Amino acid sequence: MANERLKTTVRDMILSLAVIGVPIAAVLVVEPSKPGDPVHVIDSASFRSQLAAARQAEPFTVLAPSGLPSGWRLTSESYRPAGDAAAAWHLGYLTPSGGYVALEQTTESVDGFLRDEHADASPNLALQIAGADPNVWQRYTGTRPSALRTVLFHTDAKVNVMVAGSAPLAELEQFAAALH
């Protein structure tokens, strides 16, 4: 009797595995995993149209990098015209080293931006960046969010400009120098 019960239990277990395994195998055959780069790169035509719209609408110079070497990949962009909220222009890049760099231009106050985006950022020192216009930026550092540990900041009468990221400082400086 025990031997017969053991056979039934084993048979039921094998049938249960088959019932679960067949749909899983079917999904893997129909939708195999796709090797390759998981990063979504922004189409340059989309970027150019957003940039043109922002430059036409805003009273400040909307910046974008030019002349970055290969390996820099645009992964995010957004534009919010001034209205109920402050105007905002955002570009996000993956760098050749695998770090992240973001450009943020906003008419929001520096304190408001840092409070919203960089909870614990504090000013470090003034930093001269060769080739950047202007060439003196204020450096802020913090730990949250981890993707934006360093913020380089400058302001003029119309807009606040931040270059922020987890990339090495040299890449943040290279990006800031490429902004026009």
Q: How would you write 110-173 as a 3-class SS string?
A: HHHHHHHHCCCCEEEEEEECCCCCCCEEEEEECCCCHHHCEEEEEECCCCEEEEEECCCHHHHH
Q: Strand 160-165's sheet: what is its strand order?
A: 73-80, 88-94, 100-106, 160-165, 150-155, 136-141, 122-128
Predicted TM-score (pTM) of the model is 0.74
pLDDT at 33 over 80: no
Weakest mean pLDDT among 3-17, 51-65, 102-116: 3-17
State pLDDT tens for residues 83-124.
888 888 999 999 999 999 999 998 887 777 776 665 566 777
What pLDDT sits at residue 67?
Answer: 92
What pLDDT sits at residue 113?
Answer: 72
State pLDDT tens for residues 131-157.
877 788 988 877 665 556 788 888 887
What pLDDT sits at residue 25?
Answer: 80
pLDDT at 173 over 80: yes
**Residue 95 CB burial class (10 angstroms; 0-12, 13-18, ≥19):** buried
Mean pLDDT on 48-65: 91
pLDDT at 158 over 80: yes
